[in-house]
Structure formats: structure tokens, C-alpha cells
Amino acid sequence: MAPIGVSVALPVRAGDGFSARLRDVLASWARAFRSWEIWVHLGVQDIKNRYKRSLVGPLWIAISLAVMVAGMSFLFGRLFSQEGGRYLIYLTIGMMLWSLISSSFTDGGYAFLGAESYIRQIPQAKQIYLLRCTVVNLVVFSFGLPVFVAVALLYGQFNASLPWALVGFAVVVVACVGHSAIMAYLSVPFRDLPPASASALQIVYFLTPILYPVDLLRQRGLGWFLHINPLYYLLEIVRHPILEGGPAPAGIYAGAVAYTALVWVVGLGVAAALDRRIPALL
């Protein structure tokens, strides 16, 4: 069949080897981190802009989270016969982390596509555009925090484990930046990726213990699935310390860190392969 659509011109691969291109990408990341003022500013502008004409503004994030968690804990609490308070906290943390993680994929996919007009004319490290969406997602996450604090206070789940939860959260953020990096680069040549990943995430959402307790999977003989689902580790690394107190099991840390390292290796590899072609591909 004859090819449909316009032709695309791409720079041919230059003589430099992979390692030279990888060095360029690392230098680009370093420049992007040094220019933190730019992406923080852009991200904050995005948030301000999003709620400009809204009456209660970012409070909507907290409201919708509260309503959703309250409704779900009522329904699913009965379905999975969970005791109220503990399940409410479980659900709240799970939902908050899930929306952070899933938006690191979906928003990451549009990071470069949305910054097309900048990338095509301003010689900046491209990574600032994906860090911009990380900022947006972190701010959105933080708007949900009051709900978590309220729930935790209500059911007295505040203990000395908070530092452990924060350590876990730091790992989650690093992984999320990695997700966005992979998605940002790959979505430029493969425009089907952002919608495809959105529907894939929908499935993963139901396969990951967020709404239902972890033990339920084990009881039904699906425990093995937890071990091949990296997002389970990312959730548990934060959720476990808060619910149980103290650090999560060593296996959880190992899994989460190994996955995060893998995400970054892939992310840097993809960037090294594509970085120079991005301006022409956009």
C-alpha cells in the first residue's frame, strides 16, 4: 500500500557514537537542573492559569479527593470488609500516589509535544519542559495533602514513621521524573503513545492494590502479580511506613530502587538515541 501522509525529514545519525550522545544528554540534564528557576516558574504559572477563573481554585483537588475517598471507603469498605479508619487512610494514600504516578506517564507524554514551539526555536535543555510537568504534578499532589492529614489525624495514624514515608516518597518522585523522561522522548516519534499509555494505565490501576487490600490478591492466588508490578513497590514504599509504622520490608525498598534505576537507564538510553532528532521530529 502506498504510504499515506506527508513526508518527514529527519537528521541522519551523525558520526558520533552512542557514548558521545549519552554524554550530551547527561550535560543537558545538568543544565536543566541548574535552570530550576525556569521550570519552577513555568510549572507554577501552569497551576495559576488552570485555576484562574475558578471560585475555590485548587481547593477542588482536595474536595474531589475527599468526596471520592469518602464514597469509596463506604462502598469498598463493605465490599472488602475492611475496618473503617485504617482503610480510609490506605485508600487516601493510594489514590494520591496513583494520580501522581499515572500523570507522570500521561502528562510526560505531552511534555515535549506541548513545548514544540519552544524546542524548535530556543536552545535550552529540553528536560526543563518535562520537569515543568513534574512541578505541576507535585503541586497538584500537595493540594491533596490536607485530606490526608485530616484523615490521619482523625484516626490517629501519625507516628514516628513519617521520615520513612518521606524517604519512600523521594524514590517515587525520582521514578516519576524518569517515567516522564521516557514518555516525553518516545511520544515525539510515536504520537500514539500518550493515548495508548493512558489506556494501559487504566488496566494497571485495577491490577494494583489501591482500592482493595493487598491481602485480597494473595488470598485469591494472585500474589505473584504483585511481584511483577513495579507500581506496587512504589505505592508500598510510602504506604507501608504510614500504616504499619517503621520502615517498609527490605524487599519493597529493593524492588522500588531497582525499578527506579531501570527507568532511568531506559530514560537516558532513549534520550541519547533521540535527543538530536527531536527538533526536526516536532
Binding site for other proteins (CB under 8 A): 3-15, 37-38, 41-42, 45, 49, 52, 116-124, 189-192, 196, 276, 279-282
Which candidate, 185, 192, 189, places its Cα nearest to that of 275? 185
- Smallest distance, other proteins to C-beta of residue 275, A: 8
Looking at the Cβ atoms of 39 and 98, the one nearer to other proteins is 39
Closer of 90 and 129 to other proteins (Cβ): 129
Distance CA 253, CA 257 (A): 6
Cell of 76: 469498598
Measured distance CA(259)–CA(222) in Å, rounded? 21
Distance of CA 176 to the CA centre of its chain: 4
In angstroms, give the least distance from the CB of 177 to other proteins: 20
Q: Quick one: 26 or 280, whose CB is closer to other proteins?
A: 280
Cell readout for 272 is 541519547
Are 110 and 180 in contact by the 8 Å Cβ rule? The answer is: no
The nearest distance, CB 35 to other proteins, in angstroms, is 8
Q: What are the cell numbers at 240?
A: 507501608
- Residues 18/272, Cβ–Cβ less than 8 Å: yes
Closest CA to 147 of 102, 99, 101, 108: 99
The smaller minimum CB distance to other proteins, of residues 37 and 83, is found at 37
The nearest distance, CB 100 to other proteins, in angstroms, is 24
Question: Which CB sits closer to other proteins, 23 or 41?
Answer: 41
Give the nearest distance from C-beta 109 to other proteins in angstroms: 14
In angstroms, give the least distance from the CB of 181 to other proteins: 19
The burial class, CB within 10 Å (0-12 / 13-18 / 19+), for 94 is buried
Q: Provide the 3-class DSSP secondary structure of residue 181.
A: helix
C-alpha cell at position 118: 519552544
Which H or E element spans position 29? helix 18-34
